[in-house]
């Protein structure tokens, strides 16, 4: 039983939400790319103001922990840590792909498998495989998708592909058991239910030591020579 502030910045969107006992009471989303740095603090203020909650009343902060956008994750986690330090409350981390899967679990059939995908670059995605109950079947990886991807799994079960990386994979994955769902992005509005379970079981992070799951090193590209 808790009042939890949830933050999600693992993709080009960012969002903030308040949940009480796992139920959404306020939420704001921003879908303009590259605005997490400037908008996240604004969204937090708006969410708190929407329901007349003071920062000191929040009992924990939940954050989408990656994988995903390097910059987005860094901003989200730094903001969550700052709030937790200031208010002396616990930090809860939720895997971004598990959060993404929670958006479609109600659409899945009993035997369906869930394959959330977050866009990396070119034909690469951050992904994992779960069952309808969000139990991990294959671990998180950065995977390059081609025509051979998931063929063995698809021969045995229907697989739901969704998330910011799934649309670019439609042309590569061909099977009658492959089902693509468009328009699914991870959102803080869904994060509170997962965070509540972790709060009740005291699954808190070390605020000083916690780092997002970047999965890959951040690449800084040198500008092309003008000579």
**Architecture per CATH, 104-181:** 2-Layer Sandwich (3.30)
Is the CA virtual torsion 43, 49, 50, 54 positive or negative? positive
DSSP, collapsed to helix, strand or coil, labels residue 180 as strand
Decide if domain 3-96+186-200 falls under CATH 3.90.180.10: no
Q: Is the pLDDT of residue 122 over 80?
A: yes
pLDDT in tens, 55-81: 999 999 999 999 999 999 999 999 999
172's tokens = 């590569």
* 207-219 pLDDT tens trace: 999 999 987 754 4
Q: Do domains 3-96+186-200 and 104-181 have the same CATH topology?
A: yes
Q: How many CB atoms lie within 10 A of CB 100?
A: 33
Closest CA to 134 of 190, 189, 194: 194
At 36, the pLDDT band (50, 70, 90 cuts) reads: low
66 touches 95 (CB < 8 A): yes
**Among the listed residues 226, 227, 188, 198, the one whose alpha carbon sits nearest the alpha carbon of residue 60:** 198
- What are the sequence ranges of the domains in the chain? 3-96+186-200, 104-181
Q: Residue 162 pLDDT more than 60?
A: yes
Query: What are the pLDDT digits (tens) for 174-192?
Result: 999 999 999 999 999 999 9
Q: What is the pLDDT of residue 226?
A: 41
Place of tokens 């922990």: 65
- Name, in order, each residue with C-beta under 8 angstroms of 211's C-beta and a sequence gap of 6 or more: 77
- Full-model pTM: 0.90
Question: Which of 220, 179, 201, 215 minimizes the C-alpha distance to 92?
Answer: 201
Measure the CA–CA gap between 85 and 83, rounded to whole angstroms. 6
């Amino acid at each position: 039983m808790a009042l939890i502030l949830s933050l999600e910045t693992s993709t080009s969107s960012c969002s903030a939400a308040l949940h009480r006992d796992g139920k959404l009471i306020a939420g704001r989303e921003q879908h303009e790319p590259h605005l997490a740095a400037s908008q996240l603090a604004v969204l937090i203020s708006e969410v708190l103001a929407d329901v007349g909650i003071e920062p000191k009343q929040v009992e924990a902060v939940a954050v989408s922990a990656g994988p995903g956008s390097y910059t987005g994750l860094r901003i989200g986690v730094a903001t969550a840590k700052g709030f937790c330090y200031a208010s002396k409350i616990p930090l809860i981390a939720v895997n971004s792909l598990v959060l993404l899967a929670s958006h479609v679990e109600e659409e899945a059939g009993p035997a369906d498998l869930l394959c959330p995908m977050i866009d990396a670059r070119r034909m690469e995605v951050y992904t994992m495989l779960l069952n309808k109950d969000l139990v991990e079947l294959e671990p998180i990886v950065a995977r390059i998708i081609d025509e051979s991807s998931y063929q063995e799994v698809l021969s045995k079960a229907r697989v739901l592909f969704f998330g910011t990386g799934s649309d670019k994979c439609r042309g590569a994955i061909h099977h009658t058991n492959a089902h693509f769902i468009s328009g699914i992005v991870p959102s803080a509005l869904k994060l509170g239910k997962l965070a509540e379970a972790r709060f009740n079981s005291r699954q808190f992070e070390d605020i000083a030591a916690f780092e997002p799951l970047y999965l890959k090193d951040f690449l800084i590209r040198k500008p092309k020579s003008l000579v």
